[in-house]
Structure 1
Amino acid sequence: MSEYLPDPRLAQSTLPLYDPVKAADFPQTILRYRNDRAAASAGLDTLTDEAWTSHFGRFRPLPDNQPEPLALRYHGHQFRHYNPDLGDGRGFLFAQLRDDQGRLLDLGTKGSGQTPWSRGGDGRLTLKGGVREVLATAMLEALGVPTSKSFSLIETGEALHRGDEPSPTRSAVLTRLSHSHLRFGTFERLAWLNDADTMRGLCDFIIANYHPTAQDIPGLFDAVVSANAKLAARWMAAGFIHGVLNTDNMSMTGESFDYGPYRFLPWYQPGFTAAYFDHAGLYAYARQPDTVLWNLGQLGRSLTLITDSEPLVAAFNTCPERYDAEFALAVCARLNILPLTDNQPLLTSLFPLLSSLAYDGSFEGLFYDWFGGKLSHNRAMASPRAEHYTGEAFTTFRTALEAYETADPAKLDHPRFKKPNPETLLIDEIETIWADIAERDDWSAFYAKLDAIETWRRALNL
């Protein structure tokens, strides 16, 4: 059992990066989800439901932690248009604490009320949005993507009106556990203000708490480039589309967070978009690595306020190479095979095969069937998808796969791999889960899905 170790570093830093705020006073606090596995890593799993709801529904301060919530200040590029009117508009930093590995973690919120940065919004979160985020983070963690963890979901008893979904709809407040909520947009704001002193202090803070191997500001940028190249590669290997890859949704620690209109690919579609308002397909599945690169460019440009550009450009230029290397590792991890010195034949055979498998569930199905590489040949050829494993594209892929050894054969002994199909989180599944909640207040499918994803996580062990 881990010890609760409060460590409100940002509040103690005196850096002008936040505004003290008060949480909304909700009519109700109905606990719908608590992540006891994440809570155990931070010494909070022994809280009673009553105490949990008090802290994460009423936001009574945790012992020896921040005395009040802090709404973070930031700007950002939204669909590549600069917006200086951002900041935590419906969330705040509630607490900071150490986990069982000694890492500094944030407990941040979504839907916790209005702040100075709400821009006329109500500061609330729909219950459906909370349900979707809990499911997203669980699945992404199972698939090996660095992600925030949904820590708590509490229904709050308000009727919300939204223009893009049936209204009125139910409300909730979400608490997420994340390595950090400091964003690229935090630096963009300081550059916009020409506040070099605060930016230097922020760099020192991030180096000390999140990237301790960085020796200086260029070293910090290099570490952030590396972390986000890995994140982009893991998204792509998971078939995940974030939907809104604005610079204010990019973390200095390389964690995925803030899930709005996300999707998982039903099959390989390079132009697939998650956000209905992304009319130009700027954040389409296949454009995500380039988007991360562009966003890193905005961070690097901000840092030129306090350091020379030459080492920043040098680190920035390594991003495509780092992404390629990380993507190869991510694909090998998803296939449970040991990477080779040259993985290009496998990677170049993968996409033509995925392109030929244009049916629901085929993206995840391929990785499931061939999890273990050539060792899974008989299992794959007995799967419901076996009839599609034929033709030139498949032969090329299968030949490339022959060169690889299975990374962990014991994983195939997990009972989950006896089932014919992989675990998925496609949009129709999410809508069915939500319909049960919205129409009958039936949460059984939601909890069953989370149990199934947890079994999936243990089986994959990525």
Structure 2
Amino acid sequence: MSEYLPDPRLAQSALPLYDPVKAADFPQTVLRYRNDRAAASVGLNALSDEAWLNHFGRFQPLPGNQAEPLALRYHGHQFRHYNPDLGDGRGFLFAQLRDDKGRLLDLGTKGSGQTPWSRGGDGRLTLKGGVREVLATAMLEALGVPTSKSFSLIETGEALHRGDEPSPTRSAVLTRLSHSHLRFGTFERLAWLNDADTMRGLCDFIIANYHPTAQDIPGLFDAVVCANARLSARWMAAGFVHGVLNTDNMSMTGESFDYGPYRFLPWYQTGFTAAYFDHAGLYAYGRQPDTVLWNLGQLGRSLTLISDSEPLVAAFNTCPERYDSEFALAICARLNIVPLADNQPLLKSLFPLLGSLAYDGSFEGLFYDWFGGKLSASRAMAGPRAEHYTGDLFEAFRAALDAYDTADPSKLDHPRFAEPDPETLLIDEIEAIWADIAQSDDWSAFHAKLAAIEIYRQALNLQAE
């Protein structure tokens, strides 16, 4: 078990990036989920349920950590329109601590009450929103995507009214474990304020704590470009649609976080959108890499306050090539095959085939069936999707796949691969899990799904971090 090592670096930095706040006083605290695997990585898994509720439902400070929660200040582009009226409106930074690898991590919240940045909102989170985020982070981690980890979900006993779901609805507070809550929008705010001194201090802070190999500000930007090219490639390989890729939802550490109307693709569709309000399809599945690039451009523009633009532009211009490289690596990882010097024949055959398989579960199904490459041919052709593996598109894919060696044949010995179907997290599954909770307070399907995703994570062993 890792030792608990508090390290509240941001609170000790004196950078004007936050406002001290108080957590809401909830009518009740009912523990619905605690992530003991994540807790073990930061030395908190030995907490009793009562202590857990005190810290993550009532937000009593952790020993040696921040004396009070901090609501972070930031701006951002929302659907490419600049909004200077943002900031942590229903969350805060609760603590910072080291994990078992020595990395600085945040414990941040969602639904913990009003702050100076609540903009008239109630500062709360629906229980359904919390359930959805717990499921999203578990599935993304299983599929090898760098993501925050849902650390705790506690039901809080309030009736909330929302315009986009039946109301009143139940409330919750979520705590997430992540590398950093410092966002692109944190820099956009400082550029908007023309606060060069704070921006320099923030760059020094991020280099020291998250990107120590960066030598200067262009080097920091280069590291962030690289991390977010990798993130967007992993989203695409996982068939994940974030839904709201605003600059305030992009992290300086290249980690996915803050899940609203996300979706996993039922089948391959480049125009698939997750948010019902994304009428123009700006954040559609196939547009996510370009959106990340656009968001990186806003970060680079902000950094021109304290840096020459030429090296920033040079780093920015590497993003498409880095994305292409990371995407090829991500696809090979998802298929458990050793990348070649040229992976284009495989990619050019894979996606036409995926596009022809227009049935629920076919995106994840193909990667599951052919996990291990040609070593899985007999398993795939004896499975429930074998009837779809025929014709010219499939034969082109098989021919390309046959050029690859299996990366780790021992993974195929995991008993999970004896099962006929992959693990998925499609919208109908999420709605069915929520219906059991909403209608009869039955959490069995929720916990069963998390257990199944954990087995899938262990079987795939894709190393999200």
Q: TM-score, normalised by structure 1?
A: 1.00
Q: Which residue of 1 aligns with 2:340?
A: 340
Q: Which residue of 1 aligns with 2:258?
A: 258
1:51 correspondence with 2:51: yes
Aligned residue identity for 1:342:
D
Please list, as runs of the form range in 1=range in 2, the aligned pairs for 1:99-138 lying within 5 A after superposition.
Answer: 99-138=99-138
Aligned residue identity for 1:72:
L
1:73 correspondence with 2:62: no
Please list, as runs of the form range in 1=range in 2, the aligned pairs for 1:289-438 lying within 5 A after superposition.
Answer: 289-438=289-438
| C-alpha deviation, 1:380, in angstroms | 0.4
| C-alpha deviation, 1:166, in angstroms | 0.1
C-alpha distance in 2, partners of 1:153/1:165? 20
Q: Which residue of 2 aligns with 1:283?
A: 283
Deviations 1:378-409 (Å, cap 9, x if unpaired)?
00001111001011110100000000000000
1:39 correspondence with 2:39: yes
1:187 correspondence with 2:187: yes
C-alpha distance in 1, partners of 2:353/2:366? 9
| C-alpha deviation, 1:415, in angstroms | 0.4
C-alpha distance in 1, partners of 2:341/2:107? 40
Q: Secondary structure at the match of 1:157?
A: strand
Please list, as runs of the form range in 1=range in 2, the aligned pairs for 1:191-210 lying within 5 A after superposition.
Answer: 191-210=191-210
| C-alpha deviation, 1:312, in angstroms | 0.4
| C-alpha deviation, 1:256, in angstroms | 0.1
Aligned residue identity for 2:7:
D
C-alpha distance in 2, partners of 1:218/1:461? 34
| C-alpha deviation, 1:265, in angstroms | 0.2
Q: Which residue of 2 aligns with 1:456?
A: 456
C-alpha distance in 1, partners of 2:175/2:350? 38
Q: Calculate percent identity across the aligned residue pairs.
A: 90
Aligned residue identity for 2:13:
S
Aligned length: 462
Q: Secondary structure at the match of 1:173?
A: strand
* Structure 1: 4+ residue segments shifted above 3 A: none
Q: Secondary structure at the match of 2:165?
A: coil
Aligned residue identity for 2:235:
W
Aligned residue identity for 1:98:
R
C-alpha distance in 2, partners of 1:453/1:377? 24
Aligned residue identity for 1:285:
Y
C-alpha distance in 2, partners of 1:38/1:174? 14
C-alpha distance in 2, partners of 1:418/1:235? 26
Please list, as runs of the form range in 1=range in 2, the aligned pairs for 1:86-101 lying within 5 A after superposition.
Answer: 86-101=86-101
Structure 1: unaligned runs, 5 residues or longer:
none
Deviations 1:109-165 (Å, cap 9, x if unpaired)?
000000000000000000000000000000000000000000000000000000010
C-alpha distance in 2, partners of 1:259/1:19? 24
C-alpha distance in 2, partners of 1:373/1:404? 7
Q: Secondary structure at the match of 2:157?
A: strand
C-alpha distance in 2, partners of 1:356/1:437? 36
Aligned residue identity for 2:315:
A
| C-alpha deviation, 1:260, in angstroms | 0.3
C-alpha distance in 1, partners of 2:81/2:392? 44
Structure 2: unaligned runs, 5 residues or longer:
none
C-alpha distance in 1, partners of 2:70/2:455? 36
Q: Secondary structure at the match of 2:114?
A: coil
Q: Which residue of 2 aligns with 1:2?
A: 2
C-alpha distance in 2, partners of 1:290/1:439? 41
Q: Which residue of 2 aligns with 1:236?
A: 236
| C-alpha deviation, 1:3, in angstroms | 0.3
Deviations 1:265-290 (Å, cap 9, x if unpaired)?
00001000000000000000000000
Aligned residue identity for 2:127:
L
Q: Secondary structure at the match of 2:182?
A: coil
| C-alpha deviation, 1:455, in angstroms | 0.2
C-alpha distance in 2, partners of 1:86/1:395? 51
Aligned residue identity for 1:360:
D
Deviations 1:61-117 (Å, cap 9, x if unpaired)?
000000000000000000000000000000000000000000000000000000000
| C-alpha deviation, 1:365, in angstroms | 0.2
Q: Secondary structure at the match of 1:47?
A: coil
C-alpha distance in 1, partners of 2:238/2:130? 21
C-alpha distance in 2, partners of 1:93/1:271? 35
C-alpha distance in 1, partners of 2:6/2:355? 49
Q: TM-score, normalised by structure 2?
A: 0.99
| C-alpha deviation, 1:180, in angstroms | 0.1
Q: Secondary structure at the match of 1:446?
A: helix
Q: CA RMSD in A?
A: 0.3
Aligned residue identity for 1:63:
P
C-alpha distance in 1, partners of 2:109/2:405? 43
C-alpha distance in 2, partners of 1:427/1:163? 19
Q: Secondary structure at the match of 2:33?
A: strand
Q: Which residue of 1 aligns with 2:23?
A: 23
Q: Secondary structure at the match of 2:351?
A: helix
C-alpha distance in 2, partners of 1:356/1:379? 21
